[in-house]
Each structure stands twice: as structure tokens, then as C-alpha cells.
Amino acid sequence: MTEPHRDRDLTRRLKAKAVELGFDRVGVAGAQTPPDYDRFRAWLDAGRAAGMQYMERHAEARAHPDRVFEEVRSVVMVSMVYGEPSDEPPRPSLGKIARYARGRDYHQVLRARLAELFDWLKAERPEVEGRAVVDTAPLLERDFGRLAGLGWIGKNTLLIDRRLGSFTFLGALLVDLDLEPDSPHVTSHCGTCTRCLDACPTGAFDGPYQLDAGRCISYWTIEHRGPIPDEQADRLDGWVFGCDVCQDVCPWNRKAPAGRVGELDAREEWIDPDLVEWLNRSKGDWKRALRGSALDRARRVGLVRNAALALGSARDEGATAALIDRLSDRGEDPVVRGAAAWALGRIGSATAREALEWFRDDDDAALREAVARALESGAGVRPSSAGC
Ligand code: SF4
């Protein structure tokens, strides 16, 4: 079999164009079965994906990028740094939002730039066909990042770039050209470090490279729909969307640069948000606030649920009136009403308990149950979070 002709010069210029468009790193991998596919399957089979059924549904498609774009010959992997490290601890009654979600929705930002990159390539090679992917198709992006030489997969399961750290977004351009591939990153630079595993507030790692989504704060606050079980609710550690702990403690992020794409910079409203205001905010205002934001993934219901749980966990008496309003609103989503009941139970003041008593015999069976549990739990139950 003859080796395909690989266009070295085009690859070099494509990479330069990607950097010009704002990407911080670019690498190329050949179209192949990602080496971590078997590990991914084993993780799924062990039930570690919690309620993320879409992972199971599209599992087979991750076996090869040709399931995403049939004619693929090369996978161009790009990464982009986001945000800026901050050492300031959040105030107790305020919620924490993962750094990646504080700016404009990264899907939009990366997709627009990948489209520009593809347009440039099309001008160079009019016959080229391809597909851009930003978390939107079943592709093992981290593994392809490693294959394209961008970094190694750390014990926290994230791709780590020696220079950029792990606060990066990944995107891929799948094309039907034989570009010059990079050497895969074969070494790991975690060494004997276990900081991420030790710092996780919920002990979500079964061991290095083994994340149990069912114990991960990011899963519960972003992906999970419906009520959050009581034992998890007390362990969210003030996070209302995602969690950064396993990245914050990673030494490779200590000297990482700040992001250089302004659209990804944190918006004021997503830094130390006022959670009581979140509870009181109208649905129309939520719709406007979530436009163009990655927080929309959790929808208003998930975010208000998380806010109620964070306030309850912090036993924030100042939130009592807003929580009672959510509980009393019969037009409110049952998930939010249940979370408000849980939070009032945790606050446990006379006013909170009195409000709960009003709903002991509510028409909604699930709410009745949530109220009964909240009244039983009462005050004095300390959060089990270890903090970080
Ligand atoms: Fe690796 Fe340590 Fe970073 Fe975890 S904290 S990913 S073990 S270097």
C-alpha cells in the first residue's frame, strides 16, 4: 500500500491561520479509532456516566471519527484558553460558576472560528469537504487532542497542555484531506501528584483517570434534570453550575496564561451572582440572561434549583422569603418547589418551618414528600461537604 501524499506546506499554513483566528494550539491527528475508546466503553459499562444516557446512545459512534464525517482523513484539533485564574474565595451566600461558563457560550465562539478556518481551507483547496465539531458530535475530543500532540490526559481526566494548562476549550475540524499529522503526546506529566483526586469535594474519583459522574458536582448541577437527591444536595459545596476544583489545584494551571479571546471573558453577572435575586428573577429575565450563555445547558429550572440548594446548604436565613415564594408558587416547576422545600428544611427557622407546614398536604405528591423530608431533617444537620 502506498503512503498517502501529505500536504506539509498546507498543514503549516493551516496551523498559522488557526493561531491568527485566536486558537492557542493546533495539531493534526489521522482519522483512526481513538486509543481510549475501550477505556471509555468500560467506563460506560461500569455505569460511571450516571444519568447521561446520550453517552450510551452514541457510544458506538465514538469508535471512529468516520461516524461523524464519513470521508474524514484528518482531524485538526484546536484549543483555546479561557478565563483568568482568581484566588478570591466566593462569599458564603453566593454561588460558584465554573470558569468556562462565565463568558459567551464557547460553542458559538469556537464554531464561528472553525467555520472561518474551514472557509480559508476551502479557498486553498476548493474540493475539500469537512465538518466542525465543538462538543456537538460523538468524538473523543481529549483523546484526539492527545493524538494531535496538544497534551496528555491528566489524572483528573482532562487534557493538559504543558504551556496552557487545562482551562482550554477543544474543537475539531474533520476534513477529507491527508494533512501532515503531529506526533501523539505519549508521556504523562502528572508524576506522583494526586492533588486533583485529593481535593475533589465529593470524592468523585475512584482513582487516577476514573471519574464517577454520579458523584461529580458538574454532573449534578449541569447535566442532571429533576430533583437532586438529598445526600447530593448537601455536597454541592456552593457550586451552582459546574465545578473547577480539580483544575484549580492542578500545578499545571499555576502559570497558565489568561485567555486572549475577549468574548470568553467573564461577564459581570456570572461572577459571584446574587442567588436570592436568581430566585426572584422573572422567567423573561432568565431567558434574556441565558441567551448566548453556556449556562443555558442547565436551563432556568436547573439554575434556580441549584441556587435554592446552595442557599439552603449555607443556611442563609436572608433567603427565607425568596424560598417561600418559590415554594408557594403553584405555577413554578415542581423541581424548583422541591428544592425550595429542602432549603427551608435546612434553614430550619420558625418561619421556614411554618411555611413548610402549609404545604404538608399539598396536592402534588412529590412536593408533599419533599416537605415531609424537609420537616424531618430540620435544623442542626451540618453539610457534609469537605470544602476546598
Ligand atoms: Fe495530574 Fe496533579 Fe494536575 Fe491531577 S492535579 S491532573 S494529578 S498534575
Atom of ligand 1 nearest to the CA of 160: 6
**Mutate-to-test residue for ligand 1 from 252, 253, 254, 255, highest number of ligand atoms within 8 A of CB:** 252
C-alpha cell at 67: 461516524
At 6 the pLDDT is 75
For residue 249 and ligand 1, the question of a CB distance below 6 A is answered with: yes
Residue 195 Cα to ligand 1 midpoint, Å, equals: 6
User: Residues near 135 by Cβ (< 8 Å), separated by ≥ 6?
Assistant: 107, 141
196 within ligand 1 shell (Cβ under 6 A): yes
In terms of Cα–Cα distance, which of 104, 105, 132 is closest to 118? 132
Digits of tens for pLDDT over the chain (388 positions)? Answer: 555 677 899 999 999 999 999 999 999 999 999 999 999 999 988 888 888 888 888 888 899 999 999 999 999 999 999 988 665 555 544 699 999 999 999 999 999 999 999 999 999 999 999 999 999 899 999 999 999 999 999 999 999 999 999 999 999 999 999 999 999 999 999 999 999 999 999 999 999 999 999 999 999 999 999 999 998 999 998 999 999 999 999 999 998 999 999 999 999 999 889 999 999 999 999 999 999 999 999 999 999 999 999 999 999 999 999 999 999 999 999 999 999 999 999 999 999 999 999 999 999 999 999 999 999 986 444 333 333 2
Please give the pLDDT value at position 84: 80
DSSP 191-240: TT--HHHHH-TT--EEETTEE-GGG-HHIIIII--SPPPHHHHTTSTTEE
Residue reference for cell 467573564: 266
Q: What is the DSSP string of 281-346?
A: --HHHHHHHHTT-GGGGGHHHHHHHHHHHHHHHTT-GGGHHHHHHHHH-TTS-HHHHHHHHHHHHH
- Considering only CA atoms, which residue is closest to atom 2 of ligand 1? 193
Q: Decide: 251 in ligand 1 pocket, CB within 6 A.
A: yes
Residue nearest to atom 4 of ligand 1 (CA): 196
What is the structure's pLDDT at 53? 83
Which residue pairs from 183-186 have beta carbons closer than 8 angstroms and sit at least 24 positions apart in sequence? 183/149, 184/29, 184/146, 184/147, 184/148, 184/149, 185/146, 185/147, 185/149, 185/150, 185/151, 185/152
Beta bridge partners of 28: 76
pLDDT tens digits along 73-94: 999 999 999 988 665 555 544 6
pLDDT in the model for residue 56: 84
Extract the C-alpha cell encoding 192.
506522583
Q: Distance between CA atoms of 246 and 100, rounded to whole angstroms?
A: 14
The reported pLDDT for the residue numbered 3 is 59
7, 66, 135, 364: which is the annotated catalytic residue?
A: 135
pLDDT at 386: 32
Q: Does ligand 1 come within 6 angstroms of the Cβ of 193?
A: yes
Task: Report how far residue 67's alpha carbon sits from residue 138's, in angstroms, rounded to the nearest whole number.
Answer: 8
- Taking the C-alpha atoms of residue 145 and residue 137, their distance in angstroms, rounded to an integer, is 15
Centre of ligand 1 from the C-alpha of residue 24, in Å: 21
What is the reported pLDDT for 382? Answer: 39
Question: Cβ neighbours of residue 126 under 8 Å, at least 6 residues apart?
Answer: none
100-138 burial string, b = 16+ CB within 10 Å, else e?
bbbbbbbbebbbebbeebbeebeeeeeeeebbbbbeebb
> pLDDT value at position 272?
87
What letter would DSSP give residue 270?
G
State the distance from the centre of ligand 1 to the C-alpha of 156, rounded, in angstroms: 6
Task: Please say whether the beta carbons of 252 and 196 come within 8 A.
Answer: no
Distance CA(135)–CA(79), nearest Å, equals 12
For residue 374 the three cell numbers come to 424537609
C-alpha 158 to ligand 1 mean position (Å) = 9
Query: Residue 155: CB within 6 Å of ligand 1?
Result: yes
pLDDT at 152: 98
Radius of gyration for the alpha carbons in the chain, expressed in angstroms and rounded: 23
- 211, β-bridge pairs: 205
Write down the pTM of the prediction.
Answer: 0.91
Among 145, 112, 119, 106, which Cα is nearest to 264's?
A: 106
Q: Is 135 a catalytic residue?
A: yes
